[in-house]
Structure 1
């Protein structure tokens, strides 16, 4: 008992710091590793993204219990989802909010009957991040512009779906790497209470193709910045 008391006295500052950091990362802000390329090219393999845990809700730390509602996800937001359907933490882009009518036709997105606009940006631009050839397009819908990646040599069997209407309290999510993303096409709509935060920037990045050397040009890079 005396040993435990001595250890506590000697280390209580460290213990308090670790507890505060746990609360902070759970309820306020955190950085997450993105384990797949489903959000290429916006989020690259090796990126660690900064996540604002208070973008939409204030929650009891380490739980889904909401203390205060601060806002709702908007079309185009990139969010983290603690998905019960996927049994893991996902990072996807919000495409449909409650009441939206969404369809995909040969990878052309329609939101409320209006097709997105597409502008070619290049081919095979991030060869080190994917095993298949990629075609990159600037996709614009509802005032939101971002780059999507298509795989002409390995198209998704779900490059067409819908139209579907997003139910109340649910959201439709897609990955920017449209032919290689497990998203609402596979898991269905995502409940509002599973959306844990919003990301708008890269915290730091390590290149797996170069023995995890730092990619300093991506440190702090906004995710809505022009592709490149």
Structure 2
């Protein structure tokens, strides 16, 4: 006659003890958090990142404290274009005084000759239409030819922008990415137009 096993006695192949399950939950939680951090850093490094606007140099297009998404991926496949609003690291000369990235609009492309005079920007002798600027530039600059692999960038608030007309051109390798979407404030939610 076989005996009925004691119901209070744990079978040999029973699931792990509660303390072991708690340990597994902690390990899984740490793995999940670690993977999330790695993915977030990977996305921020190679795909997109959020930035805010600290100054009025891009008025009226971008206002102080606007929050933007910067596309870092597309410039791996295409070259920056005139009209793109770009975030870039300071040039070597500027990096002695500034650590933070700048945001400006690309106006001049490699090989082009630019001049600012009579309240107008001229590219290769032809005036360009700029309906996005705060006011006409009240300074004269150039004519100057942009070296290969470099870009001329200006703020949309032309007369109140520390940009290429002060310190020169931006090397291609300094460009981090292009501003594509404003996500804050909500009443200004939308794309950042190239305007060209």
The two structures have a TM-score, normalised by structure 1, of 0.67
Secondary structure at 1:168 match in 2: coil
Q: 1:94 aligns with which of 75, 88, 106?
A: 106
How far, CA to CA, are the matches of 2:144 and 2:89 in structure 1? 23
**Structure 2 residue 43 is the aligned partner of structure 1 residue 31:** no
Residue 183 (structure 1) aligned to one of 163, 172, 175: 163
The CA RMSD over aligned residues, in Å, is: 2.2
Aligned residue for 1:60?
none
Deviations 1:163-220 (A, max 9, x none): 0000001100000000111111122110000011111221222xxxxxxxxxx2212x
Cα deviation, residue 108, structure 1: 1.1
Match of 2:173 in 1: 193
Which blocks of at least 5 consecutive residues in structure 1 are unaligned? Answer: 58-69, 118-138, 140-145, 206-215
Contact residue 31 and residue 203 of structure 1 kept, 8 A? no
Match of 1:82 among 62, 82, 89: 89
Residue segments in structure 2 that go unaligned for 5+ positions in a row: 1-23
Following TM superposition, by how much is the alpha carbon of 1:13 offset from its aligned partner in structure 2, in angstroms?
0.5
Larger CA Rg, structure 1 vs 2: 2
The alpha-carbon deviation at position 10 of structure 1 amounts to 3.7
**Matched residue, 2:133:** 148
Summarize the Cα distance change of 1:176–1:11 in structure 2 as closer, same or farther, 3 Å threshold: same
State the shift of 1:73 in Å: 0.6
How many residues in Structure 1 have an aligned counterpart in Structure 2?
A: 167
Assess if the C-alpha contact under 8 Å between 1:33 and 1:46 holds in 2.
yes
- Greater per-residue helix proportion: 2
**Matched ranges for 1:13-162 at <5 A:** 13-57=32-76, 70-84=77-91, 85-86=93-94, 87=98, 88-117=100-129, 139=130, 146-150=131-135, 159-162=139-142
> Matched residue of 1:162: which SS?
strand
Tell me if the contact between 1:107 and 1:178 (Cα under 8 Å) persists in the aligned partners. Answer: no
TM-score for the superposition, normalised by structure 2: 0.78
Conservation of the 8 A alpha-carbon contact between 2:116 and 2:141:
yes
Distance 1:192 1:6, change over 3 A: same
